[in-house]
Every structure is written in C-alpha cells, then in structure tokens.
Amino acid sequence: MKRREILKELTMIPLAGGLVGSMEAMAESKSPKNWFNKAAAAVSAPGPLKAGPQIYQSIGVEPIINCRGTFTIIGASIELPEVRQAMEYACQYNVQIDELAFGVGQRLAEITGAEWGMVSAGCAAGMNEVTAGIISGGNPEKLIRIPNLEGFEKTEVIIPRSSRNVYDHAIRNCGVTIITVETPEELSNAINPRTAMIYMMPGNEPWSVASVAKIAKPANIPIMVDAAAERLTIPNIHLKAGASVVAYSGGKVIRGPQCAGLMLGSKDVLMSAWQASAPHHGPCRDNKIGREEVIGMLAAVEAWAVRDHKAEMRTWVSWLENISKKVSGISGVTVAIKEPEEGALDNATPVMTVTWDPTKLNITGQEVADELQTTKPRVAVGTGFRRGQQAASGPPTTSISIASYMMGPGNDKIVADRIHEILTRKRSAPKAEVAMKAPSADVAGRWDVNIEFYTSTSKHTFLIEKQDGNYLYGTHKGEFATRELMGNIDGDEVRFQSRYSVPGDNVVMTFYGKISGDTITGEIDMVEYVTAKFTAKKTAYPTGKQRINIPAGRPLST
C-alpha cells in the first residue's frame, strides 16, 4: 500500500475502515460514539500484567489478527524472530551510544550500498532529525536555536503539492518555511539561497526522484525521499536516482522495531542528523531511541538482505487461497486474489477481495468488518462500499479485503472460519430506515459556540443559512478558518459536521447534541484528535432599522 494511500486511512475508522462522521453513518445510530470511547469500552477490567502469550489479555486488551496492513494504530508489523533475539541480547548490556551509531552506520552502508546509515526513533523522527541537521549544517550554535531560525541561511523546504501529507509535520516542527510547488517549473523557480532541501514522496513523472534531482543537483540542494512504507531495495533505487537521504519505517515492510526508522544516504547529512538527535541535547532530544531498537533495526536489515522474498510471497498467497476455499462456496460470494506486480515497492502484499450482493446476504462489508473487529477472535480487514452505494451497473455490491502480509501461521483458518460463519448466518432483511422525526425547532441563524477541549476553550460560530426539513446547511467559523457545515435535526437531536483542510492535514469535527430553546449542548467527535464538549447559543440579530445613505461627496473634515 502506498504511503499516499495510507494517508487516506486517517479519516477512517481504525481497523474496520468505514468513514468516520459521515452523515450517512451518523444517521444509523441514535447515540453516536466516538472511536476513543469505543476503544475504552473494548478494554475489560484489567488485572496485573502477566508475561506470556496472554500478556495483552492480562490487562484487559484483546489482540488483533492483522489482515489490514502495517498501520501504526494496530501495531504495524510483527517483528522478525531475528529482530526479537537481537534486541533481547542488546538490552542486557550497556554501550556508548555514539560508538553504537558509528558501528551501525558503517554496517548499514556495507549491507545496502549506501554511503551511510542511521537508525532513528521512527521514520518521522528521522525526517525531523535530517531537517534539523541540514538547516544547522552541523553547527551546534545553530542547532540549539531551532526552531528559532533567525540568522540562519537555510530556512525554506520545498515540497511538491502531491507530496504534502500529515507526516511533513516532522519537517515543519523545525521552524522552516514550507514552499509548496505545483509543477517542476515552479520548483526550479522556487530554489534560492534560503532553500535548505526538497522533501518528496517518490511518484510518477513529472515527480520522479530522477526528474527532481535534475533540477536540485545543479543548485546543490539535498533531496529527502519519504519511502516509509516501501520495500527496501539493494542497491537503493532512490539514492541511485539522485536522492540525498531516503527514509524508511522500521516497523512496516522491513519488520524491524515499530519504534525505529531507517535513514540511508549521504554520510555528511546523516552525521549532522545524528548530531541533532538523542543522546545529544538538541532540538530532537525527544526523539530518543534505545540501544535495543538500534540493534533490532540493524538485525532486520541484515535479515532483509538474505530472506527468500519469493518464498514468503508464495506462503502469503497460500494463506489467502485457504481462506478462498472456505468462503468461495457461499452462494452469491465472489473471491479474487491479487498478487503484487514483480518489483512492486509499496507494502507489497497479496490481497484477497470478497464481494457479494448485500441485498441477498442482508449484510454489508462494513457490518462484516465491524463484527470481525469487535468480537473474539478479533480480525482487522478492509472494506469496500458503504450502505446505499452500488456499482456503476448491475446489482449493488459490497466487499471486504484481506491482506496476508501481517498474518501468522494458523491465522488463515481462524479468519476463514470467522468470515464463513458471518456470511452464512441466516438473517432477516434489514428494516427500512426509520424516517427522522419532525424538527423540534427552527435552527436557521447564527449560533455562538463555546468548545471545551481538555485543557482550553475556544470560541466558534455556526451560521445555519438553510434548513430544508431535517437537513441543515451553512458555515462553521473556527479560530483560524471558515469551512462548510452540513447537518440534520431529528426531533430535538442536532448533528453537524465540518472539515478543515490545509495542505497535509484534515480536521473533521462532528457535533452532536440536543436543542432546548435557544441552546444546543453536546459532544464533538474529532476522529484521531479524540473528543470535546460544546455549547451553542442562538444569537438574536439586531432589531433596529437604519437606512444606509451613500455619501454625497468627499468628506470635508476627518
């Protein structure tokens, strides 16, 4: 799965993958609950921690069979046995951390063919450290001033718009100015003496690494490539194409420690990045990584270089074939297995799609995914269409998808049995959707909104411009931006949703509460940013009447 595709998951329900906060989904529940409350409700009464196969269950947390992908929110990948063994030995001894970094850096260079290597506390941490290292140039007097860049020569980072994403916070946190460009021509024109580097995700023309390097290299501008979710190539294709540094996530395809990242490339740049990181006291001290993770990451790369990747792929496909044999016999169910193309870089895993007509089995893909992830043994799968959405032609369809990369031996039977039981279970056709109640109030107008976050309050404004029966349309003005607002009113229950989008980020806010007189009180679901409370009071417009006159001429006095 491409990192760009992973970004789309940030507005999805963890595990199941259905859209959070959509008005359609909201309408299905009389008492919506945010994902944080759901997560808390999923934890049973905890007891003392007990080491062993039931370590998570001992504190009330139920593990998940991962048929979804290497998403951080479900623990990413399962570390290789070689990685766990190396970390176990490494944690038993102390070592001078700089010496460790130099030894590992040299060994990574020998394995990968890169000039140097560095292990960071995750991919984003490594990107943060590389940025700090480049703008400080290895000068500690500059380093300790970050993010105050007054007096710095290099203060700008150029990013193609197609590469803007939530992870570029790691770069912005250093205080640099982000210059977003739309075309290679704009990129060329944007380069100036203040340009520190170019950050990008590898893409198709015109945004291939090689094409960007043709522009950057003559100006001596370093390029950092974000390849977090890619397969590691030896020799590295991005470095060969002209990248200065390429950044990988340790806990995804490479199957190293989840809290580790792998940086490969220019020794000078990576030494400056290491200087900016822990154990040194600079701006990236908070990105501390332990000796165990450093050795674990090296062990993962050592293993990657000698693993039989084709044999692994055959094993993953065989697991999907076993599941297919179990579920393909269900009437109305279609199964398709897709293997990654030869040489594919992005999270190359075979994926099986199970598709059916929801009107015949009386269940949607989203409902199957929800049941799989909320009942034992828990299974995380992807999902296709939502209720009411159908194919361009023919009967409506719905689906779930199963990625086998993070499954373990024996998981295929568990997953097959669970899906088969759910899809073959006899169930009645879903009841017709209950119509919303007549609105208890006219909510059109202006509302002053007070939001209570965990440690602060904020003043917002709703302007409900139109009430069409149960449906509401207007704008939501926050502290920094105004965005469209849509919602509905069901009796005295009011629900609004707005989306604040900027390059690299989305903030979705779903307000739900009850109206009483001129006041609405309730909660806000903010997806990954958890919850808040709000109170909205309707504002009366001025009743006075004033005729507006146009001045007859220029003023004769001030």
CATH code of the domain containing 146: 3.40.640.10
Confidence at residue 314, expressed as pLDDT on a 0 to 100 scale: 95
Q: What is the percent of the chain with per-residue pLDDT over 90, rounded to a whole number?
A: 79
In this prediction, residues 87-100 reach a mean pLDDT of 97
d(CA 448, CA 462): 7
231 found inside a domain: yes
The alpha helices in 144-266, defined as continuous H runs, are 169-172, 184-190, 209-216, 237-241
Position 76 in a domain:
no
Token pair belonging to 55:
């370590």
Confidence of residue 33 (pLDDT cuts 50, 70, 90): low
pLDDT computed for residue 426 by the predictor: 93
Q: Give residue 26's pLDDT.
A: 39
Q: Look at 43-47, 391-395, 462-466, 516-520 and tell me which has the smallest mean pLDDT.
A: 391-395
For the domain that residue 356 is a member of, what is the CATH number? 3.90.1150
The alpha carbon torsion through 194, 199, 204, 208 (nearest 10 deg) reads 60
For 45-49, 162-166, 271-275, 469-473, which range has the lowest pLDDT when averaged over its residues?
Answer: 45-49
Last residue of some domain: 286, 306, 326?
Answer: 306
Q: What is the pLDDT of residue 173?
A: 95
Task: Compute the distance between CA of residue 144 and CA of residue 76 in angstroms, rounded to an integer.
Answer: 33
Sign of torsion over alpha carbons 550, 552, 553, 558: negative
DSSP 82-131: HHHHHHHHHTTS---HHHHHHHHHHHHHHHH--SEEEEESSHHHHHHHHH
Task: Give percent of the chain above pLDDT 70.
Answer: 90
Distance CA 380, CA 29 (A): 22
The confidence score (pLDDT) of residue 541 equals 80
29-38, 188-197, 342-351, 360-369: segment of lowest average pLDDT: 29-38
Residue with tokens 């002053």: 448
β-pairing, 445-452 vs 519-525, is unpaired
Of 5-14, 54-63, 500-509, least confident by mean pLDDT is 5-14
Amino acid making up residue 367: E
Residues 232, 375 within the same domain: no
378 and 63 in contact (C-beta within 8 Å)? Answer: yes
- For residue 18, the model assigns a pLDDT of 33
Same domain, 161 and 292: yes
Whether 179 and 251 map to the same domain: the answer is yes
Domain membership flag for residue 315: yes
Statement to judge: residues 451 and 532 lie in one domain: yes
**207 and 126 belong to one structural domain:** yes
Distance between CA atoms of 422 and 364, rounded to whole angstroms?
11
Q: What is the pLDDT of residue 344?
A: 78
* Domain annotation covers residue 57: no
Domain boundary among 251, 275, 306: 306
Contact 542, 521 (CB under 8 A): no
Q: What is the pLDDT of residue 279?
A: 94
Per-residue confidence (pLDDT) for residue 504, from 0 to 100: 83
Q: What is the pLDDT of residue 371?
A: 96
pLDDT in tens, 440-458: 999 999 999 999 999 999 9
Q: Which residue among 258, 276, 306 closes a domain?
A: 306
- In a shared domain, residues 269 and 410: no
400, 330: one domain:
yes
Work out the average pLDDT over 166-190: 96
- Verify cis geometry, omega within 30 degrees of 0, for the bond prior to 279: yes
Mean pLDDT of 335-363: 89
- Contact between 463 and 484 under an 8 Å Cβ cutoff? The reply is no
Average pLDDT in the chain: 90
Summarised one tens digit per residue, pLDDT across range 351-402 is 999 999 998 999 999 999 999 999 999 999 999 754 444 445 566 789 999 9
Write down how long the chain is: 558
pLDDT value, residue 296: 98
Q: Same domain for 385 and 470?
A: no
Mean pLDDT of 487-512: 94
Report which DSSP code applies to 13.
Answer: -
Using 50, 70 and 90 to split pLDDT, how confident is the model at 17? very low
- CB under 8 Å to 394, separation ≥6 — which residues? none
Res 37: pLDDT:
63
Amino acid at 547: R
Identify whether 435 is part of a domain.
Answer: no
What average pLDDT does this structure show over 168-185?
96
Quote the DSSP letter at residue 308: -
Work out whether strand 177-181 and strand 156-160 pair parallel, antiparallel, or are unpaired.
parallel
What lies within 8 Å, CB to CB, of 399 at 6+ separation is: 353, 354, 355, 356, 365, 383, 384, 385
**What's the pLDDT at 394?**
61
pLDDT of residue 391: 45
The better pLDDT of the pair 414, 71 is held by 414
174 & 293 share domain: yes
Residue 430 lies inside a defined structural domain of this protein: no
- Domain hosting residue 380, numbered range: 3-31+309-424
State the pairing for strand pair 177-181/351-356. Answer: unpaired
Cα–Cα dist 324/334, whole Å? 9
pLDDT tens figures, 503-520: 888 999 999 999 999 999
User: Contact, 23 vs 495, CB < 8 A?
Assistant: yes
For residues 64-81, one letter each, b for 16 or more C-beta atoms within 10 angstroms of the residue's C-beta and e for the rest, the string is: bbbbbbbbeebebbbbbe
Helix (H, G, I), strand (E, B) or coil at 537: strand
Mean pLDDT for 247-260 is 95
Question: Is it the case that residue 241 has pLDDT exceeding 80?
Answer: yes
Asked if residue 545 is part of any domain, the answer here is: no
Per the structure, the count of domains in the chain is 3
282, 142 Cβ separation under 8 angstroms: no
Q: What is the pLDDT of residue 5?
A: 53
Beta-carbon neighbour count of residue 358 at 10 Å? 24
Are 218 and 325 within one domain?
no
pLDDT exceeds cutoff 90 at 163: yes
What are the distances in angstroms from CA 215 to CA 189, 192, 212, 474? 10, 12, 5, 45
Residue 459 has pLDDT above 50, yes or no: yes
In a domain, 100, yes or no: yes
Of 457, 366, 368, 382, residue with least CA distance to 418:
368
The answer, yes or no, to whether residue 462 has pLDDT greater than 90, is yes
- 98 & 206 share domain: yes
353 shares its domain with 341: yes
Q: What is the CATH number of the domain that holds 484?
A: 2.40.128.120
Give the range among 167-171, 257-261, 503-507 with minimum mean pLDDT. 503-507
